[in-house]
Amino acid sequence: MIATAELTDPTVRAFVAAVNKHDRNAFDALLAPGATMSDDGSDRDLAEWTDREIFTTRGHMDVVQEADSGRSLVVDYRNDTWGSMRTRWEFTIDGGKVARFETGQA
């Protein structure tokens, strides 16, 4: 596992920390205006998805691997709905904010 504090990209590091602390305010502050996301290749409503998959289900990210200057992660992700699964996360960062992230099973 890679400790959150050791992740290369500061915005991605803050994203992972916000998810793991279940800090919705910190998470929302990291998003660029109009930020988007996809799950397993399908675009989703970001607010609805994060509420369902992260915040109301106690989502948690254990980073296994990073690439692309820290903007591409392999994560053991778990929440109260789905349990644990290996996932990939790809981030587009713009001005220190997450403009888009794409996730799905790895």
For residue 74, the SS3 value is strand
pLDDT at position 62 is 98
Q: Which of 54, 58, 60, 57 is nearest to 37 (CA)?
A: 54
Give the model confidence (pLDDT) of 30-53 as tens digits: 999 999 999 999 999 999 999 999
On the 0-12 / 13-18 / 19+ scale of CB atoms within 10 A, 61 is buried
Token representation of residue 39 = 């799950």
Strand order of the β-sheet with 97-105 is: 42-44, 31-39, 97-105, 83-94, 72-79, 60-67
Q: How confident is the model at residue 89 (pLDDT cuts 50, 70, 90)?
A: very high
Place 99 in a pLDDT band, splitting at 50, 70 and 90: very high
Question: pLDDT at position 68, please?
Answer: 97
pTM above 0.85, yes or no: yes
CA distance 92 to 74: 15
